[in-house]
Chains A and B, each alone.
Chain A
């Protein structure tokens, strides 16, 4: 039984709490970006591109055993780290749980400044897109 979203998010918050300053936290996020489950090149299409980001972010989702598996990529390293953190908490979860999940943990790991909807990095757009996938697949399950 895999951990639920809340548990994974707490785990991420604990990890980031080990670092004293923003630079180490960013370095950690960049490291997490390297472990991002990469999207298949064939899914790097315009349709899978998230709008509202200054860098390019592609996300793909597929359902396995009623759970959503996300893969993604970005041409910017920090953005790749951000999407990696999100996907780590959302991937391999039931769509309903993804829809209900909150993303307060982003604030707690010191990325609060990225949460403003007007920021060019599009963190808000990423969260929205992941949840949209969950809504779409949830409808299939109903």
Chain B
């Protein structure tokens, strides 16, 4: 019994051993990595998957009859199935490998170019990352569709009454992040999806910030498109996922032309391959896809419930400790948020704080976090953002809080 009970305890020290980078020093101090919302660190298991691919079975996929090609194809398609199972997609061909969230959003935005006409409306939340604003603005320019913004309140939450007012028969698409990258707010996506569907509008969720913390079930959410990046989920950079309901993916035209995405080609006419290959022109990031699969295995092996519970503990601990610092203001105080703390102290510029804590070995993000509309709302140049992962510790938070205090003394 005792052993079983101990197994349930979140053993962060043994988890940390999986991440070689966590034992390095920065500016003479042990690294404290609190920039997980920008990119997560990579466990040895994923590094091994990358290394195994290049040392064991590097080959181009889908076309080769030779053994290496078949092994690589099996591994890559196996990764697709892992993604399918992880997000509980109904079919594996609803999973499209992309280079990341931005690529996935652009793919959908491009496709909607042929589905929208002048006067159609698309709704965006005020909490968006630039990558979930700009492609849609470009789409509006091409099609004459109109973009409307769901406003936020002081707590960093969306104003749902305003959303309902904006939503109409003209609304064709609603796109928002599942979790805000700048503030960590978890948006009420279920309600948004359900209401959007009553008007026949499709919903795209940017899951880049949610996926490392919350295991989204795309069927249960009934979401039309869900996009994520591998590098925020302990996977490598340069790989991401577009999940789309089959009916929607069938409606969208191909994004890029090239090999892999064709069925037949003559100079007169090309017929396109079926899903998912229609959207995967050219040789894909084979190794990246396989390693992303390994990252999902790694995270699922620990368990998302455990990860979420532990990260929430870190969030509460850090929030309490940071708020002990006089004049420190936290932005985004929704009850529903992931382990992200965006803050400023008095009139001190976030860049100054980031520079000083870096000298003390601590990595945080400073600036507008590619979400300028949020910064404009609060009338600030940016924030210091500390974002935690399951391999962080309370001791690291203590070190961070002391560093912030030191920075405050130096900069006041």
Q: Which residues of B contact A (CB under 8 A)?
A: 27, 348-349, 351-352, 355-356, 359, 366-367, 381-382, 410-411
Contact = CB atoms under 8 A, between A and B. Distances in A.
A35 interface: no
Contacts of B410: 23, 26-27, 30
Nearest to A74: B349
Interface centre among B355, B356, B382, B411 (most CB of A within 10 A): B355
B382 A77 contact: no
Contact of B366 (A22, A30, A54, A77): A54
B359 A26 contact: yes
Contacts, number: 41
Contacts of A78: 351-352, 355-356, 411
Interface of A: 22-23, 26-27, 30, 54-56, 75-79, 120-121
A77 B367 contact: no
Contacts of A120: 351, 366-367
A27 B406 CA distance: 12
Nearest to B382: A54
Given A54-B367, A55-B381, A77 B348 contact: yes
27 contacts: A22-B27, A23-B359, A23-B410, A27-B410, A54-B351, A54-B366, A54-B367, A54-B382, A55-B351, A55-B352, A56-B381, A76-B349, A76-B351, A76-B352, A77-B349, A77-B352, A77-B411, A78-B351, A78-B352, A78-B355, A78-B356, A78-B411, A79-B349, A79-B352, A120-B351, A120-B367, A121-B351
Contacts of B352: 55, 76-79
Given A54-B367, A55-B349, A78-B411, 17 more contacts: A23-B410, A26-B359, A26-B410, A30-B410, A54-B366, A55-B351, A55-B352, A55-B381, A56-B381, A76-B352, A77-B348, A77-B349, A78-B351, A78-B355, A79-B352, A120-B351, A120-B367
B399 to A, nearest CB: 16
A74 B103 CA distance: 36
A75 B355 contact: no
Contacts of B27: 22
Contacts of A23: 359, 410
Interface pairs A-B: 6 shortest CB-CB: A76-B349, A55-B351, A76-B351, A54-B351, A78-B352, A76-B352
Contact of B356 (A26, A55, A56, A75): A26
Contacts of A56: 381
Contacts of B356: 26, 78
Contacts of B367: 54, 120
Given A27-B410, A56-B381, A79 B359 contact: no
Contacts of A26: 356, 359, 410
A57 to B, nearest CB: 11
Nearest to B348: A77
A26 B359 CA distance: 10
Nearest to A56: B381
B359 to A, nearest CB: 6
A73 to B, nearest CB: 12
B355 to A, nearest CB: 5
Given A54-B382, A55-B381, A77-B348, A121 B411 contact: no
A121 B359 contact: no
Contacts of A27: 410
A30 B355 CA distance: 13
Nearest to B411: A77
Given A54-B366, A56-B381, A79 B351 contact: yes
A22 B29 CA distance: 13
Contacts of A55: 349, 351-352, 381
A56 B349 CA distance: 10
A21 to B, nearest CB: 10
B333 to A, nearest CB: 25
A30 B411 CA distance: 8
A27 B355 CA distance: 13
A22 B411 CA distance: 14
B35 to A, nearest CB: 13
A55 B381 CA distance: 8
A110 B359 CA distance: 12
Contacts of A121: 351, 355
Contacts of B355: 78, 121
Contacts of A75: 349, 381
Nearest to A119: B355
B372 to A, nearest CB: 13
Nearest to A55: B351
A85 B174 CA distance: 50
Contacts of B348: 77
